[in-house]
């Protein structure tokens, strides 16, 4: 989980010295049992300085299957955080195109089943102040073999269900909503 911020009061440090006008980003690691650990100090120099950050967007900037982040700052350049941690793991990316549903498939639910584990993702729109995440959906697959294939079930905003089978991993796929006629 990545949190970026900055105080709105330029003189907050005068009134409350424990508060900062420019705030450091916070990177938290989910240990998998609803406990998050602060890993900011090990995440690079960006996490050691303060920013007047506002908008945050998550997306795969370089198409390598690892979600990257960018945030905007008041009176400063945007900051791009390229994710190098997930590059050794397998993944699959999906870009949905609605036909009966809205074009970007906002509201679609994707479910991927691998072994005895299911992962679910939703296609969403706006997410942070004046920002929007990448509409493509990423599923991390851990140490899955590169020649593996997966199936994904899609519940489109129109209510239609669609299953896409035997998708190759470690790449992006475009899935167009089926237009079944009765």
Domains of the chain, CATH where assigned: 2-85 (no CATH), 89-176 (2.60.40)
Q: What pLDDT does 32 receive?
A: 81
CA distance 78 to 89: 28
> Is residue 167 predicted with pLDDT exceeding 60?
yes
Here the tokens at position 167 are 């998708």
pLDDT digits (tens, 9 = 90+) for 9-67: 999 999 999 999 999 999 999 988 889 999 999 999 999 999 999 999 999 999 999 99
Query: Could you give the percent of the chain with pLDDT greater than 90?
Result: 79
Sign of CA dihedral 162, 167, 171, 173: negative
Q: What pLDDT does 12 receive?
A: 92
Tell me the HSE value of 152 on the side-chain side, using a 13 A CA sphere: 28
User: What integer is the mean pLDDT of 136-154?
Assistant: 92
> Is residue 181 predicted with pLDDT exceeding 70?
no
pLDDT digits (tens, 9 = 90+) for 53-80: 999 999 999 999 999 999 999 999 999 9
Predicted structure pTM score: 0.85
């Amino acid at each position: 989980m990545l949190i970026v911020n900055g105080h709105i009061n330029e003189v907050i440090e005068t009134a409350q010295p424990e508060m900062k006008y420019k705030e450091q980003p916070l990177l938290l690691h989910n240990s998998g049992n609803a406990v998050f650990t602060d890993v900011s100090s090990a995440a690079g120099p960006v996490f050691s300085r303060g920013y007047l950050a506002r908008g945050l967007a998550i997306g795969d900037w370089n198409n390598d299957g690892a979600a990257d982040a960018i945030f905007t700052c008041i009176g400063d350049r945007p900051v791009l955080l390229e994710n190098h941690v997930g590059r050794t793991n397998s993944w699959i990316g999906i870009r949905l195109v609605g036909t009966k549903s809205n074009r970007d498939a906002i509201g679609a639910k994707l479910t991927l089943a691998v072994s005895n584990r299911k992962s679910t993702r939703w296609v969403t729109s706006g997410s942070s102040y004046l920002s929007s995440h990448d509409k493509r959906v990423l599923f991390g697959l851990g140490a899955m073999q590169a020649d593996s294939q997966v199936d994904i079930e899609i519940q489109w905003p129109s209510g239609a269900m669609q299953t896409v089978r035997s998708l190759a991993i470690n790449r992006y796929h475009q899935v167009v909503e089926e237009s079944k006629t009765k």
